[in-house]
Amino acid sequence: MQSWKHWRLERDADNLAWLYFDKSHAEQSESTNTFSSEALRELADICAQLKTNAPKGLAILSAKENGFAAGADIDEFTTLKSAEEAYAFTKLGNDVFDQVEALPFPTLAMIHGFCMGGGTELSLACRYRLMDDGPKTKMALPEVMIGIVPGWGGAKRMPRLIGALQALDLMLSGRGVDARKAKRMGLVDVVTPRRHFMNAARLLLLQPPAPHRPGFKDALSNAPLIRDIVAGISRRQVAKKVRKDQYPAPYAIIDLWQKFGGDPRNVPHDDPTSIVSLFKHPTAGNLIRIFKLQDRLKSLGAGESGIKHVHVIGAGVMGGDIAAWCALRGLSVTLQDLDHARVAPAIKRAADLYQRRLKQPHLIQAALDRLMPDVKGDGVAHCDLVIEAIVENAEIKKKLYAQIEPRLKPGAILATNTSSIPLQELSGGLARPERLVGIHFFNPVAQMMLVEVVQGAATAAEVMKAAQAFVKKIDKLPLPVKSAPGFLVNRILTPYMTEAQVMLEEGIAAETIDAAARDFGMPMGPIELADTVGLDVGLAVGKELAKPGGPQPRKIQELVAAKKFGKKSGEGFYKWVAGKPQKTKTAAAVDLAPLWMRMTLPAVNEAVACVREGIVADADLCDAGVIFGTGFAPHRGGPLNYLRSAGKEKLLAEMKVLEAKHGARFAADPGWAGI
């Protein structure tokens, strides 16, 4: 056996070489494999050595439990000092993976767990790929999500292997595929359970079959004329979703493949497709920061929650979906409501979710078995955590707590999903108020990554910690916040939504307002968003969080009184047909910037206030919460990052003008002084 800092090479009696990737840092093993330039250079040395003393075949596998490799070392990538260094890092990865591809014997990547970015690109440089069929195994090229391109050969090799249509779909979405899908696409050669890995690898290397070749249609998609047509179609599809000035990376991926053979070394540095240009663009920096903030949120859920059985009370929109999600993530769940008829729709929705997510009948059945209807509430006495998601009424909630608290196990936690009632108001009658915590999910539960973990004045630190670990365990992002009206996310979103409705009442068309917000970079305009969330829900939150003397939009009240709740009832601010808003007017041909400035500044101002009041620990976590809780223009990196990059003085001047025109709601919070 031979060892390097990040790799281990073994040869067996059949003269097969087994190369283990085992990333370490300062002599300590890390939990995840990532490619630093040091790890890449070592791989180059290993290739050179194997070339002179060739084995019969080489298998590359991971020594880490969690996966093959997570891609480039993001810490190294983010500390690169110049765009030229970014190019050098890109070139190094390409040169080394080219060396792997050129090895004169069969090579195989053995993929388990996550295989992302550079991990996928290394596997594509091998002649064969073997993949584990476990539920946690996923392969992806997610570079687009951090504003760059798959620059270590992914954009060159993947279209060749599986055709441009499938490859562009994966590269432009960043989506991961499991083993079954990867096999169907031609991305991997063999799929087996991991326990059969060694035998399957040995067989492939000792009796190597012909390497995978794409089918006729897939091969044709790379041919010169067809390539231009495919690129044109892809560009039009991307343009429907994002703008080139805001998100250059998907456009660069298409260009890189169409014009430069997928190889960034062929791209002139001053071309907008080049790594140098992308690295200099603020979007990449902001998206990488968000990616790191996501890791920070995950780290806030470190440790064991000790929660195995969750009892959810209230099987409505939220409770039903929270219960379904917890069971999907492997917990035992009991679900209580006033009668069977109210639980049944939640179970039906859960079955649909499992069908979409799990696909295999035995996995769907197992998830459904973990989700148990429990109208009598027997689960209360056995569970580790109760999540209450009944109507938003403090008196009714307190009455329920009085009934269930005496029946809880001594260590059990009581959590509320309330979106607006301060915890201190709910904990009044409790014998052990220190065990009450807010676990505030966002709607729709299956899609929204963020969960606010709300600390009341009495909530014990260990209960916060366990609640955060629970949120992480169910694969959501925990954000600890202090209990104050609206917590963090709704409090920041409300003034933005309210201002949009005030503008609507002034006569600006809904279509124009929504277009302005999208121009800023919001994934959906505020009027369409209000209809999507439900005007009844929005009105209740808006009333709860309205500032004294602040605007109280009338139109939403009239619509709710007329039972026009938006998307769910078929009409709200818009009419909805087949799940789509009917935007009848075209957005006015006006400068949209003043409109989005007017809507977004109240949100920025509120974010400043939240940090000043300590609702959230710091500005970075505030940005993370708003992005993952609302989708706030990701390329701008959150409201406070936007404030810093646009310039504090410039925005304060805008606020002054708006204050003079529209009143005190645009007065700058005292917290601006400390930004």
Q: Residue 527 in contact with residue 500, Cβ under 8 Å? A: yes
Query: Segment contacting ligand NAI (CB under 6 A): 81-89, 202-210, 220-228, 332-340?
Result: 332-340
One character per residue 272-311, x = contact with ligand NAI (rule: CB under 6 A):
----------------------------------------
Residue nearest to ligand NAI (CB): 316
419 labelled catalytic:
yes
| Min separation Cβ 403 and ligand NAI, Å | 8
Q: Check 33, 419, 483, 641 and give the catalytic one.
A: 419
Q: Which element (helix H / strand E) includes 287?
A: helix 282-299
β-bridge mates for residue 130, sequence order? 110, 190
Six token digits for residue 535: 């005007």
| Min separation Cβ 536 and ligand NAI, Å | 9
Which residues 6+ apart lie within 8 Å of 3 measured at CB? 9
CA distance 475 to 66: 15
Q: Does 494 bind ligand NAI (CB under 6 A)?
A: no
401-440 positions binding ligand NAI, by CB under 6 A: 417-419
One character per residue 176-215, x = contact with ligand NAI (rule: CB under 6 A):
----------------------------------------
Q: Kindly state the number of chain residues that form the binding site for ligand NAI, as judged by CB under 6 A.
A: 23
Report the residue number, 471 or 537, with the smaller CB distance to ligand NAI.
Answer: 537
| Min separation Cβ 449 and ligand NAI, Å | 14
67-126 positions binding ligand NAI, by CB under 6 A: none
DSSP string computed for 123-172 = HHHSSEEEEE-STT-EEE-GGGGGT---TTTHHHHHHHHH-HHHHHHHHH
Q: Does 337 bind ligand NAI (CB under 6 A)?
A: yes
Query: Segment contacting ligand NAI (CB under 6 A): 91-99, 363-371, 390-398, 465-473?
Result: 390-398
Residues in the chain: 675
Q: Check 33, 332, 490, 641 and give the catalytic one.
A: 490
440 labelled catalytic:
yes
Q: List helix spans (H) across 383-488.
A: 394-404, 423-426, 461-473
Report the residue number, 480 or 486, with the smaller CB distance to ligand NAI.
Answer: 486
483 labelled catalytic:
no
Query: Segment contacting ligand NAI (CB under 6 A): 94-102, 383-391, 517-525, 578-586?
Result: 383-391
Q: Check 388, 405, 452, 528 and give the catalytic one.
A: 452
224-283 positions binding ligand NAI, by CB under 6 A: none
In this structure, the number of other CB atoms found within 10 A of the CB of residue 663 comes to: 12
Q: Residue 477 in contact with residue 298, Cβ under 8 Å? A: yes
CA distance 396 to 501: 31
Q: Does 324 bind ligand NAI (CB under 6 A)?
A: no
Residue type, 64: K
Q: Which of 162, 390, 500, 626 binds ligand NAI (CB under 6 A)?
A: 390
**CA angle centred on 179, ends 174 and 181, rounded to 5°:** 65
Q: Does 486 bind ligand NAI (CB under 6 A)?
A: no
CA distance 208 to 104: 13
6 labelled catalytic:
no
If DSSP codes are grouped into helix, strand and coil, which group holds residue 337? coil
Report the residue number, 153 or 566, with the smaller CB distance to ligand NAI.
Answer: 566
Q: Residue 504 in contact with residue 468, Cβ under 8 Å? A: no
Q: Does 145 bind ligand NAI (CB under 6 A)?
A: no
Q: Which of 59, 317, 597, 633 binds ligand NAI (CB under 6 A)?
A: 317
Which residues 6+ apart lie within 8 Å of 669 measured at CB? 605, 606, 608, 609, 612
Query: Segment contacting ligand NAI (CB under 6 A): 392-400, 427-435, 455-463, 542-550?
Result: 392-400
Q: Does 468 bind ligand NAI (CB under 6 A)?
A: no
Comparing CA positions, the residue from 518, 510, 515, 517 lying closest to residue 535 is 510
Residue type, 216: F
Q: Which of 47, 331, 400, 517 binds ligand NAI (CB under 6 A)?
A: 400
Which residues 6+ apart lie within 8 Å of 385 measured at CB? 307, 309, 310, 311, 412, 413, 415, 470
Q: Which of 177, 318, 415, 597 binds ligand NAI (CB under 6 A)?
A: 318
Q: HSE, CB side, 13 Å, CA atoms: give it for residue 319.
A: 27
Residues with catalytic roles: 419, 440, 452, 490
Give the footprint of ligand NAI on this chain (CB under 6 A). Answer: 313-319, 336-338, 342, 389-392, 396, 400, 417-419, 441, 443, 537
